[in-house]
Amino acid sequence: MGASGLGSALANCINLSNLTLDLQLIILFSTFAFIIYFLLFHIFSSFFPSNQLFNDIFFLQYLKSNNQIGDEGASGLGSALANCINLSNLTLQLYENQIGDEGASDLGSALANCINLSNLTLNLSYNQIGDEGASGLGSALANCINLSNLTLNLRYNQIGDEGASGLGSALANCINLSNLTLNLRDKKIGDEGASGLGSALANCINLSNLTLDLRLIQNKKAL
């Protein structure tokens, strides 16, 4: 089915407002089990049209190890989710999926179409995102005009000083952002990038809570 097909299917959930999508480790569900789970959701929602549990909250845990969905999968998933116009809370776990600059930028651009999105957790750690992708992702998310809570995990990609500064400058345009958790832990970001990021985030006029991880760790496996 692929990430794009999964996203396209979810786009048909017209009342979806809360979604957690985990594409990491396969523990519980096979593809067949996911299809059964998806069908059961629609069956229950047809019997309980006013029940918030089934109409407004679709908690999806589709666990798959080293999916390697790549740029194409990330772009397709984002484009499909952009059709979920009522989506306000979104968690995407997409680490270790060989996503690069193009996929990160396209995913951000697509999510910017989710006009009601206010809470976003996006885990893109251990991918192949560089300076261009980090800046593009930030610029796209700045268009999420209702975004107030953002957790962005980009540790151990290929982001350097330029990308860190560009990401900060872009996020400074998120005018309603009040809570930001940003993980850029990597050996590639130096003093220049950290300084540029800090200076840029200082322009987030409504930011009240900031958690920033820029630790330089030599032994990644220790984490």
What's the CATH code of the domain at 62? 3.80.10.10
Joined together, the tokens standing for residue 217 give: 């760790």
Joined together, the tokens standing for residue 170 give: 């872009």
CA angle 72, 76, 80 (to 5 degrees): 175
* pLDDT (mean) for 159-177: 93
Name the pLDDT band for 84 (thresholds 50, 70, 90). confident
How much is the pLDDT for 13?
A: 58
How much is the pLDDT for 73?
A: 86
Note down the domain range covering 43.
Answer: 2-222
How much is the pLDDT for 8?
A: 54
Residues in the chain, overall count:
223
With residues binned 3-state (H G I as helix, E B as strand, rest as coil), the percentages for the chain, rounded to 5, are 40, 15, 45
Which among 114, 15, 122, 33 is positioned nearest to 74, based on CA atoms? 122
Say what the pTM is. 0.73
Which among 18, 75, 68, 66 is positioned nearest to 41, based on CA atoms? 18
Domain count, the chain: 1
How much is the pLDDT for 39?
A: 55
How much is the pLDDT for 186?
A: 86
Which among 107, 168, 123 is positioned nearest to 20, based on CA atoms? 123
* pLDDT (mean) for 71-83: 85
